[in-house]
A and B are shown apart, each in its own frame.
Chain A
Amino acid sequence: MKNKIMDMSTLDKRLLKELDDYINSLDGDKQEHLILVLHKAQELFGYLPQNLQLYVARKLNLSSARVNGVVTFYSFFNEEPVGKYRISVCMGTACFVKGADKVLERVQDLLKIQKDRISEDGLFTINDVRCIGACGLAPVLTVNDKVYGKVKPNDVDDIIRYYRGLENENS
């Protein structure tokens, strides 16, 4: 009986090869590099589904429970798919005292999803981060690597419209 979510044959072979090469390039005790390997895996696949975790476990000769324990401990790792545009609202203290909670609320309202969820069209995910070091611009929101500073709740509409627009252009 084969567990479907554990089926490693559905993973992209080309990306796995890249992951293998990366693991082989690491010096020293490979098990110690688990977190680094998971970073790479997430960078390649976008998130860390169960079967990918199992793959990493086999590769490093670790139990899958150990790998899953690490994945669930660190908030940077996602077990669920993430959107093409990752909207992160900074909820660091500097941003909070400048009304970041209102910004987060607005993003959630507009996209009709809660944080840590993906929008129905698969385009957006929302999450909160703790200080990205741009407190001078508080409140701050990022979409992938682009930083938006001094964001007012109303600005969120424009930002999301902009990315929706990009999509329409593409299609």
Chain B
Amino acid sequence: MKIASYQELKNWQKKCQNNKNYKINVLVCTGTSCLSSDSQTLVEMLESALESHNLQVEIKVIKTGCFGFCGQGPMIKIEPDEITYVKVKVEDIEDIVENHFLKNTTVKRLLYKEPGQTKLLEKSSEMQFYKKQMRVALRNCGEIDPENIEDYVLNDGYFALAKVLENYSPDEVIKIIKDSGLRGRGGGGFSTGLKWELTRKSPGNEKYLICNADEGDPGAFMDRSILEGDPHSVIEAMIIAGYAIGANNGLIYIRAEYALVTERLRRVITDARKYGLLGKDILGSGFDFDIEIKLGAGAFVCGEETALIRSMEGFRGEPDKKPPFPSQAGFRGKPSNVNNVETFANIPVIILNGAEWFAKIGTKKSKGTKVFSLVGQIRNIGLVEVPMGTTIKEMIYDIGGGHPEEREIKAIQIGGPSGGVITKEYFDTQIDYDSLVEMGAMMGSGGIIVMDEDTDMVQIAKFYLDFIQDESCGKCTPCRIGTKRMYEILERLVNMEGSPEDLNSLRTLGRIIKDTSLCGLGQTSANPVLSTMKYFPEEYEAYAYKTKKTKYSIDPKKCVGCTKCAKACPVECIEGKIREPHIINESECIACGSCYEVCPVNAVIKP
């Protein structure tokens, strides 16, 4: 069945509505995190339990993308009541079917409680984690079956495309996107509308529209979650963008590690073709557009747009000098427009709700919302979408729930291997493109790593540099050799073989690499080191002057004398009587950390 006009799409939506004769939907999160906790088995067990009670005609089990609250997964949400069960295990399914569906009583023990509180929350919208969030790019994630095109159409899917093809010229589309103030979510924050305009104006009638789904920042998974939870929204946006810039060919460049997502994308693309939403004469408009998938093969630098294009052409993914920009000469030397997954996910809603609606969200120069992956030493690990301008404090305390063991959070790292740290004194900073840059960090793709008082900032910097020098493509010397030298210095420092001069060398090298590297990878590679050096000089000095403590110790004021640490210590170097403070014999301690892990009252002090 091909849908050939706006009206036909409308009719189809009505038909989908009528097809939906289930009274109850059971949404089960099958995002990567929950899948790893066996949510697939939950789905199968739910289905067979419902069938054995002959309930499958009224109740439908839907596998959705990520709900975002990964720390409480696997989660199950039952609509229309929105009752949400958390940390559901295989053993709980019986109980849910027996009580919730047959007896109509809520299974209280599976409801969520805020930490330290006793009140049971029935609905996900009552949870602190969701209260300050605003889901625009993630609007359908966790709400629909991502592979069911009818679910997407029911949520007004492909209506933005139909509206565009029926009512707007390409220039009008570009104006809407420009007026919305949308900036690229892949890191650079360049105006999306302006980029489209540049590519549209580039001479030539063969142009390419590229979706960057390389998601290289380690510790970030928002693009994956969007593609997994709502792939049609990206497809729809790509068609709209193709129409706007004058391209008939779309390409998605996706990381090799995302094999399941790739399979899903292929199925979804086939479906869209079947309904005439991709291919020739889309929705009867005369506009042709199709999408091809290109696979990456594990190289971080391929997220950089010129490297990405080389890789799509079947070469080593080495960046090229800009200009020429991809909008002038990109894939196959033709004008090409590269946008990030999350950037695309915003497009259909902007078209449907209007530019002003979008421009009202956020701050003066950063409009709309941003998706972050919130990880590290934080209670509510997960995927979070907030309006630009939300403060770091709100992010980590209101949404993130603070530290899981109430230790002090000393900093966050934002922007991945190109980014920097922001310390607790600055947690009132509003998160938007410009204020982060002012702080010496950057938005990057939206990975936020929360670090507590025990995190060793020199080790963190070393970790990022290890990543960078591993991923440097080697094309230019400052990046290839320079990051290696920096890494060696850091290694020397943490092995207590360094000297105070090393700190100066780090700064100088960092500056040179920044100024002389060809691509963004090299230019930003020193950021994690320079930024931690700026805010935590004492941690570097402790290594450089060899005053760094390396052994564990016990705070006698906190120790309750439970003996757990003494039992756990593999070299038996902890002494003390029961219910009396224990002492570590530091000369024998091998710094294995076992005592630290087992202590119930956090009395063990990490070096």
User: Which one, B307-315, B359-367, B489-497, B579-587, is touching chain A?
Assistant: B307-315
Contact indicator A93/B36 (Cβ below 8 Å): no
> Is A110 engaged at the interface, CB distance under 8 Å to the other chain?
no
Within 8 A of B (CB), among A91-113: 91-98, 102
Within 8 A of A (CB), among B278-336: 294-300, 311-317
Q: When chains A and B are docked, how far (Å) is the Cα of A132 from the Cα of B260? A: 11
Q: Which one of B381, B447, B449 lies within 8 Å of A136 (CB-CB)? A: B381
Given contacts A70-B316, A97-B460, whether A130 and B300 have CB atoms under 8 Å apart is yes
Q: Collect the chain A residues with CB atoms within 8 Å of residue B298's CB.
A: 74-77
Q: Which of under 10, 10 to 19, 20 to 34, or 35 or more describes the interface residues of A?
A: 35 or more
> Is B35 engaged at the interface, CB distance under 8 Å to the other chain?
yes
Q: Collect the chain B residues with CB atoms within 8 Å of residue A130's CB.
A: 216, 218, 300, 467
Contact indicator B256/A76 (Cβ below 8 Å): yes
Contact indicator A133/B416 (Cβ below 8 Å): no
Q: Collect the chain B residues with CB atoms within 8 Å of residue A63's CB.
A: none
> Is A129 engaged at the interface, CB distance under 8 Å to the other chain?
yes
Q: Collect the chain B residues with CB atoms within 8 Å of residue A49's CB.
A: none
Contact indicator B295/A39 (Cβ below 8 Å): yes
Contact indicator A133/B32 (Cβ below 8 Å): yes
User: Which one, B92-100, B220-228, B392-400, is touching chain A?
Assistant: B220-228
Contact indicator A137/B33 (Cβ below 8 Å): yes
Contact indicator A135/B463 (Cβ below 8 Å): no
Contact indicator A94/B32 (Cβ below 8 Å): no
> Is A58 engaged at the interface, CB distance under 8 Å to the other chain?
no
Q: Which one of B37, B224, B467 lies within 8 Å of A137 (CB-CB)? A: B37
Q: When chains A and B are docked, how far (Å) is the Cα of A133 from the Cα of B294? A: 20
Contact indicator A93/B447 (Cβ below 8 Å): yes
Within 8 A of A (CB), among B219-273: 219-221, 224-225, 256-258
Contact indicator B381/A93 (Cβ below 8 Å): no
> Is A32 engaged at the interface, CB distance under 8 Å to the other chain?
yes
Q: Which one of A69, A73, A131 lies within 8 Å of B218 (CB-CB)? A: A131
Q: Collect the chain A residues with CB atoms within 8 Å of residue B35's CB.
A: 147
Given contacts A38-B297, A133-B225, A136-B33, whether A93 and B416 have CB atoms under 8 Å apart is yes
Q: Which one of B73, B297, B416 lies within 8 Å of A39 (CB-CB)? A: B297
Contact indicator A135/B375 (Cβ below 8 Å): yes
Q: When chains A and B are docked, how far (Å) is the Cα of A74 from the Cα of B312? A: 13
Contact indicator B73/A93 (Cβ below 8 Å): no
Q: When chains A and B are docked, how far (Å) is the Cα of A110 from the Cα of B70? A: 31
Q: When chains A and B are docked, how far (Å) is the Cα of A36 from the Cα of B70? A: 33
Contact indicator A129/B257 (Cβ below 8 Å): yes
Contact indicator A133/B449 (Cβ below 8 Å): no
Contact indicator B376/A73 (Cβ below 8 Å): no
- In this complex, which of A76, A134, A148 has the most chain B Cβ atoms within 10 angstroms of its Cβ? A134
- Listed in ascending order, the chain B residues whose CB lies under 8 Å from chain A are 32-33, 35-37, 70-71, 73, 216-221, 224-225, 256-258, 294-300, 311-317, 373, 375-377, 381-382, 413, 416, 447, 449, 451, 455, 460, 463-464, 467, 473, 593
Kindly list 9 other residue pairs between chains A and B, CB separation below 8 angstroms, not including A31-B314, A77-B297.
Answer: A32-B314, A33-B314, A35-B297, A91-B218, A97-B460, A129-B257, A133-B257, A134-B221, A135-B381
A-B CB contact pairs (8 Å), 7 listed: A33-B314, A39-B297, A93-B447, A93-B449, A98-B376, A136-B381, A138-B381
